[in-house]
Amino acid sequence: MSQNLSGKVVLVTGGAKRIGAAIARQFHASDARLMLHYHTARAEAQVLQAELNGVHPESVATVQADLNRSAALPEIVEAAVTRFGRLDVVVNNASTFYPTPVGSITEEAWNDLMGVNVRAPLFLSQAAAPYLRKTGGCIVNIVDIHADRPLKDYVAYSVAKAALVGLTRSLARELGPEVRVNAVAPGPVLWPDSHAFDELAQQRIVSHTVLKRVGAPEDVARAVVFLAAEAPYVTGQVLAVDGGRSINL
């Protein structure tokens, strides 16, 4: 538990389930207040909100938005500031992930994958920047090993995550010294809901880790909280939480 987060306000996109929910719980355990963004996962968001508010009343609020709707991005930030009076941390966690092999890539898929994975973090961060400057806050982006090592048949997704790594480093230069910007690159922690990887593919991926096991969402969440609360001299960096997979391929 970090005492540095007591009373701070954290916005987590895609915060209703999976890794986003683990990140939300980890910040909340450090006495932060939360604005949880969701798109379609209303039921999950409400259950998580009720769970956490049961521990600390009125500490968690939710906001619904389609991250591909540009006008919604400043509205998300304003919702957090209006509700809690400040903003200290933005976690750009929300993502879309599905195959786009060459020959089948459509403009719609390109716009969706680039929109949620890159455009939304950019414009959400831009809207949040004035508030983060006031509080000496930070941004943490969730990226992917496939930013550096493209995943076959996932052209648009791989390009989008590569762009998000570049955005992380560029924003670190643009927003410093007041605001730090870093990223976390998870390894095999949760398999996609789409069942994109069968059991054999999962075993192959895990075998490439140095630790020879799957990680937990909490491993990623702890890294995000570390960058937000315990790393005041770290900016523009990507922290791999992947069991050593990125050094063993």
Active site residues: 157
| Helix intervals (H) in the chain | 18-29, 42-53, 72-84, 107-114, 120-135, 155-175, 199-207, 217-229
Is residue 187 within 8 Å of residue 240, measured between CB atoms? Answer: yes
What lies within 8 Å, CB to CB, of 193 at 6+ separation is: none
Q: How many CB atoms lie within 10 A of CB 195?
A: 7
Helix (H, G, I), strand (E, B) or coil at 167: helix
Percent of residues in the chain assigned helix, strand, coil, to nearest 5:
45, 15, 40
C-alpha gyration radius of the chain: 17
How far apart CA 136 and CA 153 sit, in angstroms, is: 40
